[in-house]
Amino acid sequence: MPAVNSRSKSPRGGTNEEFKPRPSVTLPLFRAPEDYRRFRRMLFNIFAVKDRLNDMIRDLARAFDLTAPQHTIMTAVADLQGRKGVTVMALATYMRVSSPFIAAQTKGLATKGLMTKEPDPQDQRHTLLRLTTAGEDYIEMVTDVVQAANDRMFRSLDADSLTAFEAILQNLVRDADDANEVVHEMLASQTAKNRERT
């Protein structure tokens, strides 16, 4: 049961007092009000970039009767397959997703005739993924659109900013993994406490 707040209620159902939420970050870098506003703008910019990328990939994939994850997987397989093919595990590591996710998505691609899934002759425990001729044709067809989008999106980078940006992204991804674990742990703990109260 939520705690009762002693602030007086307004006719709109809120309060007559100004609501001042606690900051969503406590790191020293963002303690000053102006720096906290920068932090919030940074988050919304990250969300905006993610949304734009998702929209572009979704629309491109949909034009060829694919899902966004299927398109992304095909581009990654094209990067890694070489002559032999790429294992599900290696692809999952490269894309920072789970092996079961790759297995499920590539099943649909194989059904569409865009990818093959064969046992690795050197290790039968692993499955090798390769684009079929139709899959390679797809990559060729969409490359002009992808090039135009990437050239426009990353045109502000130079060699120095690219190096710095890459390092920042690697650190953010690593720390995002840690943050995700913290959220799951805290939610699990809160759920357990709520059950104890009931």
Residue 192 has pLDDT above 80, yes or no: yes
Mean pLDDT of the chain: 90
Q: Give the pLDDT band of residue 187 (cuts 50, 70, 90).
A: very high
CA distance 70 to 61: 8
Residue 149 has pLDDT above 70, yes or no: yes
CB 74 within 8 A of CB 65: no
pLDDT, mean of residues 152-181: 95
Give me the pLDDT at residue 2, please.
42
Distance from the first to the final alpha carbon of the chain: 10
**Of the options 3.30.70.20, 1.10.10.10, 3.40.47.10, 3.40.50.300, the CATH number for the domain spanning 28-154:** 1.10.10.10
Using CA atoms, how far residue 79 sits from 42, 50, 95, in Å, is 31, 22, 11
3-class SS letters over 74-107: HHHHHHHCCCCCEEHHHHHHHHCCCHHHHHHHHH
CA 95 to chain centre: 9
Residue 13 has pLDDT above 80, yes or no: no
Phi and psi at 125, nearest 5°, equal -75, -20
CB 91 within 8 A of CB 76: yes
Amino acid at 197: R
CA distance 16 to 6: 11
Residue 150 has pLDDT above 50, yes or no: yes
Give me the pLDDT at residue 195, please.
84
At 93-147, the pLDDT tens digits run: 999 999 999 999 999 999 999 999 999 888 888 899 999 999 999 999 999 999 9
CA angle, corner 118, sides to 114 and 119, nearest 5?
Answer: 160
Residue 4 has pLDDT above 50, yes or no: no
At 52-91, the pLDDT tens digits run: 999 999 999 999 999 999 999 999 999 999 989 999 999 9
Q: Give the pLDDT band of residue 173 (cuts 50, 70, 90).
A: very high
Phi and psi at 128, nearest 5°, equal -95, 135
Global pTM reads 0.79
CA distance 64 to 137: 12
